A and B are shown apart, each in its own frame.
Chain A
Amino acid sequence: MEDQIEEMELKPVNVRRTFTLRSNVARQVAVNFMPSRQLPYGTLRLRRTTSENNVLLESSGDETDKQAEIIVREMEQHQRLMEDNPVSEELRREALRDLPQGLTMKRNVRAKLSASVSLRSKHRPINMFKRLKYRISFAWKKARDRISDLIFSIELWYEAIRHVEGHFGSAVGSYFHFLRWLFALDLVLAVLVISFVVVPQALHDQHRNRTGSMGFLDFVSGKGGFEDSLLFYGHYHDGDIVTTGPLTYNMPFAYFFTMLCLYFLFFALLCYRTAYSYRRNFIEIAGGLSNVFASKVFCGWDFGITSQQAAALNASSIYNEFKELLSEQNKNQVTKSFWTKFWQCLVNIVVTAFVLGLIISLEYGLWQLLSSETDLSRWEIYVSSIVTFVLAVCPILFHLIVRLEFYKPRTGFYVTLARTGLLDIGTLTLLLVYWARSGSECWETSMGQEAYRLVILDALLSLFLIPLVEFARSFIFKMNPSDSPPEFNIAYNSLTLIYNQAVLWYGMLFSPLLTVVVTFKFFLLFYVKRECALRACQPARKVWRAAQTQTVLYMLVTLSLFTTLFTIGSLFVRGSSQHCGPFRGYEAVYSVVSEGVLQLARRRTLAQVLAFLTRPGVIAFLLLSLCVAVYYMRAKARAQRSMVGILRRMLVLQSKDKDFLLAAIDKVSNGEWLYSPKPEDQGADSHTWKYLQEVRKPSNAGYHFDPTRLNHSMIERPRSYAKDIRPNSYHMERRKSSEDGETDSSFSWQGSGNCLNKENDAEVGKWL
């Protein structure tokens, strides 16, 4: 490092820049050996500084090898990384991937690393148990890789989504992604339901003949010939299904356990997905929302755009947003008075109350509608169409209402989503409760029929009517170009998807084949929406926060499933109908488990234990401990959040410290430090010498500085620049001040060491 710096000083100024960079490298190398950099990290991620090292040095064939050597040497210092087992291999792989180097370099490093690892492992014998464990985890890892490869190779609609994303940007792409995810989910559901529930029933049905009419209206309403078919709950057998072989298949068990497992499995999957999405898009970005300009510059351009039109739109939207931000900044920020805030709050509350009232009255109206006795044939189709129509129109209504309120645009959007979600889930719950309490002969089948009708009518709406409206709108726009071209309404379409999924959750138990219907509907919906988007819509002008909205959508789907589970659970505890369905023989549905599987009637002790566990006291205790656990986690989260804030501030200060210290290191190594003993000023009467010998004696431990021992005190009057020097006789106490400002008279380090001082006053400024 020394020779680099000396070399540097001899070169002319125009080459200084490269050498400044080299000294940065030197600094970083020094930094890398600081104690804080030597700790093994939990994640074993290499620091960016290594790459800074390597980027700044020239790269040629020889140099790349050297750089690879440097990296490998640094990685070798981490003990956990260098063992010869699958865990370390995975850690090595992660460390390699996180290395911000080119791929060629990484391959080099990988080769060297494996060589080094295999060299080390020869010295370490592993015992039999560990070897077995490693082999199992290794095989498991390989299997998992192969499965994920297989899943990714199915890649349905990959090119289509990419095409849409290129034209519209990543926000619309995320909608299609969400659609595809729901489609995959429902496909798996459908396959499982069919194989475990429908196929055995179909086998049992082989010998029965179909009765009843099967007209088109029957198809829509689910009545008539369709009522007692595989479509609905009522049809399913309640005993064992015997086939020609020796095996019997117990239908009630199959139905119960399949549905139970599917519901809980998908609930777990959705919770996991939502939590992952929430963590990535909300928690990790906490605290970054105030950097509007910086975010706009660095994250404004959507790198996925491939069409010229979308690029022009992106550029103009960024331009508009910059102008908006600038004008907001230049405007005087009027702080809102208390009364304004109060008024806005009041308005918000009033409108929210109004919307809630609207929702409740809609539900009430629905209830009245359902209970009214009419003789109109196909009454149920009318009811279902009214429900579908209302649920399709309300989101638009809510979107308009929220403009009356005083929310920020983002909050307003979330509020609309929440209200629409409430309406949807409320309506479905109401329907379920109505049918359960209606006392009709086979209420489950009726509920299944209701769900089926809702899906079919909504399919009519979203597959035919709405695309027609959109095409008409774009046609009108083409004829009469106005200011606002039709855009692809992501929010509305996502809400449609969530509504359909919620209907599926509610209806799946009562109509197993509903999964197939909804899956098929989503399949068609993809193509219809894609055509709509490409032909009838323009890319949105305002850029969207797609990732956060995705999280909210996942949350809504999870919430709808949760509500379903809750409602169905509480209903089925009361009992299912005795005349139809696979649970005919049991007084309550859960007795499938208690009587059928566990056979509690015969096992007294087990029955007693379970009876104890389901007492209200025990359940209340469990709930209470759950609440305590939640409170504890929340307190921990808050504490950690404030810790994060503190650490961030510390980071900022540390970086300033680091810069200061490194600049000081540079100065020391540069010989600029005043007290470096250079031969010229080691004269016996020089003040430096005296200082070194008397004040800063080696024996003066702790560097106790005794100013009284100096000839000249540190507290000195400022150097006089007076041209005339007053005769000594007038000022006895005044010291001789040297004229050239040599630092003999002061021990401050503004004037630095001798030989460098003359030429390098400018350079000193550069080093600081």
Chain B
Amino acid sequence: MGNKVVTFTEQQLEDYQDCTFFTRKEILRVFKRFRDVNPDLVPKRMTENQAHTIAVPVEEIEKLPELKENPFKRRICQVFSHDGSGNLTFEDFLDMMSVFSEAAPRDIKAWYAFRIYDLDDDMYIGREDLLEATRLLTKGELHQQERDEIVASVLDEADVDGDGKLSFMDFEHVVVRAPDFLSTFHIRV
């Protein structure tokens, strides 16, 4: 009988199962990935309130293989962190992985996708947000004029109420009906 370190209490695991789209085993797997980021900072036992107090700094989270190549990694960390700075506690991280998992329904993903693409955090995806997004997506390859054209076309297609920026409803209207959305907005942990 070895000394098995209990990572979470039963109550915590049940809570997590109820509040996320993960099963027990997946939660433990997520914890393992989280701990691998900084084993010194994250303890093995998370039975007290370490799950929502200990925060791993954003520079280290961005080094995770799942996020390393993502052009929106900084914004993703900001959206899911509890204080908007990008430093993630374990519960933030679990939340993030739960939203990106396969079982999350379309509209939850749409909501978080909206927040991620809303780079200046004003609850609207405006022209500047779109310009920045296209720049990040193509790694700076497009010319300014081409980017302007693309942004104009996007607003043309998606802006339903005609205010020159995309509200959540406009965004959801586009994205929920895109065939690729579920398969691209998906990180396997």
Contacts and interface: CB of A to CB of B under 8 A. Distances in A.
Contacts of A315: 71, 137-139, 141
A59 interface: yes
Nearest to B104: A97
B39 interface: no
A601 to B, nearest CB: 54
A293 B157 contact: yes
Contact of A306 (B69, B72, B92, B108): B69
A409 interface: no
B68 to A, nearest CB: 7
A318 interface: yes
B181 interface: yes
Given A298-B117, A303-B186, A304-B187, A97 B20 contact: yes
A292 B157 CA distance: 8
B94 A284 contact: no
A96 B19 contact: yes
Contact of A322 (B20, B146, B171, B188): B146
Interface string A311-345: 11001101100110110010000000000000000
Interface in B123-151: 123, 130, 133-134, 137-139, 141-142, 146, 149-150
Interface in A542-573: 543, 545-548
Range of interface residues on B (Cβ < 8 Å) = 35 or more
B91 A305 contact: no
A165 interface: yes
A329 B19 CA distance: 45
B180 interface: yes
B24 interface: yes
B186 to A, nearest CB: 6
Interface residues of A, number: 80
Given A315-B137, A315-B138, A298 B177 contact: no
A534 to B, nearest CB: 16
B179 interface: yes
Given A152-B23, A311-B69, A318 B137 contact: yes
B3 interface: no
A127 B107 CA distance: 39
A102 B23 contact: no
B68 A306 contact: yes
A303 B185 contact: yes
A185 to B, nearest CB: 19
Contact of A546 (B83, B154, B183): B183
A310 B80 CA distance: 25
Interface of B is mostly: helix
A319 B184 contact: no
Interface in B87-117: 89, 91-92, 94-95, 98, 100, 105-108, 111-113, 117
Contacts of A290: 157
B105 A98 contact: yes
Contacts of B8: none
Nearest to A107: B15
A166 B19 CA distance: 28
B116 to A, nearest CB: 10
A295 B105 contact: no
B60 interface: no
B150 A299 contact: no
Nearest to A309: B69
B138 A322 contact: yes
Given A291-B157, A293-B157, A299 B181 contact: yes
Contact of A291 (B24, B92, B94, B174): B174
Contacts of A323: 146
Contacts of B91: 102-104, 107
Interface string A86-97: 000000010011
A93 B156 CA distance: 39
A299 B178 contact: yes
Contact of A301 (B89, B105, B137, B169): B137
A547 B26 CA distance: 23
A310 B65 CA distance: 13
A435 to B, nearest CB: 42
Contacts of B185: 299, 303
Contacts of B23: 145, 148-149, 152
B163 to A, nearest CB: 8
Nearest to B68: A306
Interface string A434-469: 000000000000000000000000000000000000
Contact of B141 (A52, A319, A329, A651): A319
A286 interface: yes
A254 B65 CA distance: 52
Given A301-B184, A655-B160, A655-B161, 10 more contacts: A48-B168, A103-B20, A285-B179, A291-B177, A297-B130, A299-B178, A299-B180, A300-B184, A304-B186, A652-B161
16 contacts: A52-B123, A97-B21, A104-B91, A161-B188, A288-B174, A288-B179, A295-B174, A295-B179, A303-B185, A304-B187, A308-B69, A322-B142, A323-B146, A651-B169, A655-B161, A659-B161
- 6 closest cross-chain pairs (CB), A and B: A288-B177, A311-B69, A103-B91, A106-B19, A103-B95, A293-B153
